A = this chain, B = another copy of it.
Amino acid sequence: MLLHLTTWPEVEAYLERSRGIVIPIGSTEQHGPTGVIGTDAICAEAIARGVGDATEALVAPTINVGMALHHTSFPGTISLRPSTLMLVVRDYLTSLTKAGFTHFFFINGHGGNIATLKAAFAETYTAIAELNLPHGDRVRCRLSNWFTCHRVYQLAKELYGSQEGSHATPSEIALTQYLYAEAIKDAPLDPQVASGYPIYGPADFRRHYPDGRMGSNPALARPEHGQKFYELAVKELTEAYREFLKAD
Interface: A228 (CB within 8 A): no
A31 at the interface (CB under 8 A from B): yes
Question: Hey, which chain B residues are within 8 Å of A148, CB to CB?
Answer: none
- Distance, CA A13 to CA B173, complexed state (A): 21
Question: Is there an interface contact between B67 and A41, defined as CB atoms closer than 8 Å?
Answer: no
Tell me, in angstroms, the Cα distance from A65 to B62 when the chains sit together: 9
- In the complex, whether A155 has a CB less than 8 A from a CB of chain B is no
Check if B81 sits within 8 Å of A91, measured CB to CB.
yes
Q: Which of B2, B36, B61 contacts A4 (CB 8 A)?
A: B36
Given contacts A80-B88, A82-B123, A84-B91, contact A36 B62 (CB under 8 A): no
- Interface residue tally for chain A (C-beta within 8 Å): 92
When A65-B92, A75-B12, A187-B7 are in contact, do A125 and B38 touch as well, CB less than 8 Å? no
Q: How many protomers of this protein does the assembly include?
A: 6
Judged by a CB distance under 8 angstroms, whether A69 is at the interface is yes
Indicate if A204 sits at the interface (CB-CB under 8 A). Answer: yes
Q: Which residues of B contact A61 (CB under 8 A)?
A: 28, 38, 41, 64-65, 78
CB atoms of A75 and B212 under 8 A apart: no
Q: Is the CB of B9 within 8 A of A33?
A: yes
With A6-B36, A8-B33, A84-B88 known, 8 other A-B pairs at CB within 8 A are A3-B38, A11-B37, A65-B88, A69-B126, A82-B123, A83-B87, A86-B119, A115-B122
